Structure 1
Amino acid sequence: MSHTTEPGAAPDAGAATRDIADVAAVEVITTAAVHLMSAAAVKCGLAEEDSAEHLDLDEARKLITALAALVTAAAPDIGNQHARSLRDGLRSLQLAFREASVIPDEPGEGPGEKYTGSVV
C-alpha cells in the first residue's frame, strides 16, 4: 500500500504507521540488513563503476560490524532460511574487506568478527 502526498504537503503519519504495521518483522530486519550489505559492498570497493573512488575501509568496517551485530542478534528470530542468506552475505563482505585491506587485521579482529568469530 502506498500513500502519496502533494509536494509541500505534510506526510500522512497515520497512513505511514498503518503501512509499516502491515510489514512482518523479518521483512524489516532483512531490508535493513540488505541496506547495510549494499553500503558496505560499495565502501569495500565492490561497486561496478568507480569502485576505487568509493573505497573507504573505515566506513566499511562500521557497516560490516553493524551488519554482523544485527544478523547475530536476529538470527534466532528470523529463521534459518533468512539467517543463512544474511550470514553468507556477511561472510563475503568480511572476506572482501580482508582482501581490500593493506594492513590485515589479526584473526578475530576484523569487522564484525567479535560477533561472528574469525573469518579467514
Structure 2
Amino acid sequence: MSTPTDPGAGFVDDATRDIADVAAVEVITTAAVHLMSAAAVKCGLAEDAEQAGHLDLDEARKLITALAALVTASAPDIGNQHARSLRDGLRSLQLAFREASVIPDPPGEGPGEKYTGSVV
C-alpha cells in the first residue's frame, strides 16, 4: 500500500489517473493485440521462432483460447469495426495453429473454437 512517503506513490497515482482516461474499447483491443502477438510467436509465425525455440503449440492454444473468449465476450460492447478486425486476426491464428499442428484437432475442438465455432 502506498503512503505519502513512499517514492512509488506518485507513480501509482499517475498510472491510476492515466488508465482512468482510457476508454474501455482501447483497453480491450490492447489486451487482444498482446494476446495475438504472443500467440503468433508461439505458433511459429515469427521469423526465427522455430530456430529460437519459440514454437510452443501448448502455450499458443491457451493464448488463442483466451483471445477467443475475450473477442467473443466483448464484441457487442466494442462495436463491429473493432470486433471484425479482432475476429479476423483470431481466425488467422486459429488457421496458423492448425497448419503448425502435426496432429490436427477435430473440427470444433481447436483452440478457441468452443467460442468461435469450427475454423477450417
The alignment's TM-score, normalised by the length of structure 1, stands at 0.86
What displacement does 1:51 show?
5.6
Aligned residues: 115
Cα deviations by residue, 1:77-112 (Å, 9 ceiling, x for unpaired): 000000000000000000000000000000000000
C-alpha spacing 1:30/1:8, structure 2 compared with 1 (3 Å): closer
Residue 8 of structure 2: aligned partner: 8
Post-superposition, which runs of at least 4 consecutive aligned residues in structure 1 deviate over 2 A? 1-10, 49-52
Whether the 8 Å CA contact 1:45–1:51 is kept in 2: the answer is: no
The alignment's TM-score, normalised by the length of structure 2, stands at 0.86
The runs of 5 or more residues in structure 2 that have no matched partner are none
- Structure 1 vs Structure 2 CA RMSD: 3.8
Q: Distance in 2 between matches of 1:90 and 1:66?
A: 10
Residue 41 of structure 2: aligned partner: 42
| Identical residues among aligned pairs (%) | 91
C-alpha spacing 1:80/1:59, structure 2 compared with 1 (3 Å): same
The runs of 5 or more residues in structure 1 that have no matched partner are 11-15
Q: Distance in 2 between matches of 1:3 and 1:90?
A: 43
What displacement does 1:31 show?
0.2
